[in-house]
Amino acid sequence: MSRNQRIIVTAVGGLLAIVLLAFLLTRPAEDLIARNVMIGDLPVAGLSEAGATEVVVAREDALAALPVVALVGDTQRVALPDQLGFSFDTETAIQEALMVGREGSVFAQFGSWIKGLFGRHQIDLPATLDPAAAEAVLDGWDAEAATESDQAGVTIEDGVPVPTYAEPTTVIVRSGASDALLAGVLDVDRSVVTLGTETESIGIPDAAVDEALAIARQLLAGPITLTMADPPATLRLSATELTDAFVTNVEGLTITPSLDPTLLETRFAELREAFAQTFKNAELVVGDDDTVSIIPGETGLRVDSDRIIEAILTAAQTPDRSGQLPVIEDAEPDVTVADLEALKIDHVVSSFTTYHDCCANRVINIHLMADTINGSIVMPGEDFSINETVGERTQEKGYLPAGTIVNGELEDTFGGGVSQFATTMYNAIFWGGYTDVTHKPHSLYFSRYPEGIEATLDFPSIDLAFRNQTDGALYIKTEYTDTSLTIKILGSNGGRTVAGEQRNGSTNLTVVSEGDAAMAVRVSATVSDRFGFTSPDTVYQGNPEIEPGTSDTIQSGLEGWSVTVTRVLTQPDGTTTSQEWVARYRSRPVIIEVHPCDIPKGNDGYTGSPCPTTTTTSITEETTTTTVAPTTTTAP
């Protein structure tokens, strides 16, 4: 070997040694991805398995959050990647990336290293769509296209049935559609994907439309009559009524003309009314002694609502357009014994009585209101309102003028004086433990009402309403005499009964029956000492009939104050809930009548005119204040 040859061999060997050394020194660590490795367009070279996974998952999440827009014919459709079943096989891609430069013999690894010096190792993004999910989206888009196109059917125009025939629908060519959607998902810029389409007849066949049209014309050709002999009953529907109720039911490729029973409900209700006398509802009876009993109902005839449309359609096919009225014999009444038993009304839960003088107009008004409300049933979860139940108190309803507090002054209004009814009912509700929805105490104190635990009433602004929060219904029973009013709430509270009354300025409560402690809710309450006292004003009223220098006190003053009412409900398991109300009573002014010339300066009616010179005395302001002793409320 010549000297030059030796030099060349030495140089080449040295170069190979350097390359081999570089290969050995620059090989990636065992847990890192080799240089120039890409997963899709994501560079992952030099990353660990966890780092590369984070990069790929971030791209997957970003793509999954963007909707795909597809152009189907002239219409754009939109789907989220999740709807298409989009997912990455991230683990497979990461493992393939980690194996670059590590597979095969050392020569194969060396070759892979050389490739990494001058080019990229490209690994496809492992993205797929779920075939079933993608197909379901495509089916949905086709269905939307069919819905948006003119649908086959029979409609009414100017009272006449007319046909509409199905038009060919643009549908998606399925071959290649899923691949196009996947490409759209992987497109970060989200360019619109164009899907191939073709036209196809997928609607109701023309022959089915023609058959439905013939049936519709026959159905609407004239009046239809359904009858029965015993008891005699007739349902006659005019052609106009039939046309107004006409509908078509479409199922698959079948179209069926029919009638909408809800559009004929008024006529059916009249028919049911005709049969009402054939049966009797069960009746809930509350005796004079407050015992609850149920009188069973009686079966009778009832229109068969499920068959009546079928009977009308059948009659339309007969020569005289008539048929038999379908009925159910021995039908249960609307209200059965089971229905009334489910109400759970079995005893008086609470009652309250207040007293009044005989024979005033307000007593007549109280009795009218009691008669209207007596027998009311309040279902579980339902609210009961006096104003909603009774309505406006008018002369036409028999209400008489009586005293009503208007802006702090007592005035006569039709239906006035019924706040005693409100107070009596409020106490029955209060001691029964039912939920207070709204109530308003009187603005002035009246000793005939329980202090703090009372309510006033005016239509429509001041109401008394409560909610039946129990799982059984309530029955409101009212009783009255010439001098008393009693309201009773019947329901179910484990047999426990509380009775109360307001007499001589004092509230008296009695637990008539303790009932079953494991089932009864117990009610207790306290009324705080009076606080927040306000002194009465003095009001001067001019009266020219009064001698100057003299006065006449026509109304003594009354202090104002507040009390806090606390009610505690104790459940059968011993848990308690507490509620508080504050009742504020205004002071009542002292009213003094004087001659107009004696009205002090600063008071309404002051004229500044001097009194006759013969009068040498002057009026000094005087105030008469009455303090009402607190009443006592005793909790059972």
Q: Which residues contact 340 (CB under 8 A, 6 or more apart)?
A: 282, 283, 284, 294
pLDDT band at residue 464 under the 50/70/90 scheme: very high
- The verdict on whether omega for the bond into residue 231 sits within 30 degrees of 0, i.e. cis, is yes
Q: In terms of Cα–Cα distance, which of 597, 602, 596 is closest to 538? A: 602
Residue-wise pLDDT for 570-598, tens only, equals 999 999 999 999 999 999 889 999 888 88
Phi and psi, residue 365, nearest 5°: -65, -40
**Dist. CA 575–CA 569, nearest whole Å:** 8
Pairing state between β 347-355 and 497-503 = parallel
Phi and psi, residue 214, nearest 5°: -65, -40
DSSP string, 509-566: EEEEE---TTT--EEEEEEPPPEEEEPPPEEEEE-TTSPTT-EEEEE-EE-EEEEEEE
Q: What is the mean pLDDT of the chain?
A: 84
Q: Is the dihedral of CA 239, 240, 243, 245 positive or negative?
A: negative
Q: Is the pLDDT of residue 7 over 90?
A: no
Residue-wise pLDDT for 432-453, tens only, equals 999 999 999 988 888 888 999 9
Asked if 169 and 145 count as a contact pair (C-beta separation under 8 A), the reply is yes
Choose between 470 and 616: higher pLDDT: 470
Average pLDDT over residues 610-625: 55
Q: Is the pLDDT of residue 107 over 70?
A: no
- Whats the size of the chain, residue-wise? 636
DSSP string, 125-163: --EE--HHHHHHHHHHHHHHHHHHSPPPEEEEETTEEEE
Q: What is the pLDDT of residue 617?
A: 45
Q: Which amino acid is at 300?
A: G
Q: Is the pLDDT of residue 484 over 90?
A: yes
Angle at 423 between CA 504 and CA 528, to 5 degrees: 70
Q: Which helix (H) or strand (E) holds 242?
A: helix 239-244
**Dist. CA 285–CA 281, nearest whole Å:** 12
Residue-wise pLDDT for 384-393, tens only, equals 999 999 998 8
**Dist. CA 445–CA 449, nearest whole Å:** 8
Phi and psi, residue 106, nearest 5°: -65, -30
Q: What is the pLDDT of residue 410?
A: 56
Where is average pLDDT lowest: 139-153, 168-182, 295-309, 345-359?
139-153
Average pLDDT over residues 375-399: 93
Phi and psi, residue 413, nearest 5°: -135, 155
**Dist. CA 376–CA 370, nearest whole Å:** 10
> Six-digit token pair at 121?
């190792």
Query: How many Cβ atoms sit within 10 Å of the Cβ of residue 256?
Result: 16
Q: Which residues contact 95 (CB under 8 A, 6 or more apart)?
A: none
Token match 């504050």: residue? 582
Please state the domain extents for the chain: 208-341, 344-518, 521-631
Average pLDDT over residues 476-493: 96
**Helices 106-118 and 3-26: crossing angle, nearest 10°?**
90
> Six-digit token pair at 42?
């994501």
Asked if 569 and 433 count as a contact pair (C-beta separation under 8 A), the reply is yes
Q: In terms of Cα–Cα distance, which of 452, 510, 421 is closest to 632? A: 452
Q: Is the pLDDT of residue 631 over 70?
A: no
Average pLDDT over residues 369-391: 95
Q: What is the pLDDT of residue 153?
A: 85
Measured in whole angstroms, the distance separating CA 425 from the mean position of its chain's CA atoms is 28
Q: What is the pLDDT of residue 215?
A: 92
Choose between 234 and 566: higher pLDDT: 566
Average pLDDT over residues 505-514: 91
Where is average pLDDT lowest: 35-49, 183-197, 424-438, 453-467?
35-49
Q: Is the pLDDT of residue 304 over 90?
A: no
Query: How many Cβ atoms sit within 10 Å of the Cβ of residue 300?
Result: 19
Q: What is the pLDDT of residue 621?
A: 47
Q: Which amino acid is at 583?
A: A
Q: What is the pLDDT of residue 29?
A: 55
Instruction: List the helix and strand counts (H, then E) for the chain.
Output: 14, 41
**Dist. CA 111–CA 14, nearest whole Å:** 19
**Dist. CA 531–CA 445, nearest whole Å:** 14
Where is average pLDDT lowest: 189-193, 266-270, 320-324, 625-629?
625-629
Q: What is the pLDDT of residue 14?
A: 58
Q: Which CATH number fits domain 208-341: 2.40.50, 3.30.2320, 1.10.1060, 3.10.20?
A: 3.10.20
> Six-digit token pair at 107?
């020569």
Residue-wise pLDDT for 95-106, tens only, equals 877 777 665 455
Q: Is the pLDDT of residue 376 over 80?
A: yes
Measured in whole angstroms, the distance separating CA 455 from the mean position of its chain's CA atoms is 29
Choose between 556 and 110: higher pLDDT: 556
pTM for the full predicted model: 0.59
pLDDT band at residue 627 under the 50/70/90 scheme: low
Q: What is the pLDDT of residue 280?
A: 87
Residue-wise pLDDT for 253-275, tens only, equals 788 999 999 988 888 888 887 77
Token match 């079966």: residue? 299
Q: Where are the alpha helices (DSSP H) in 299-406?
A: 305-315, 337-341, 361-373, 386-390
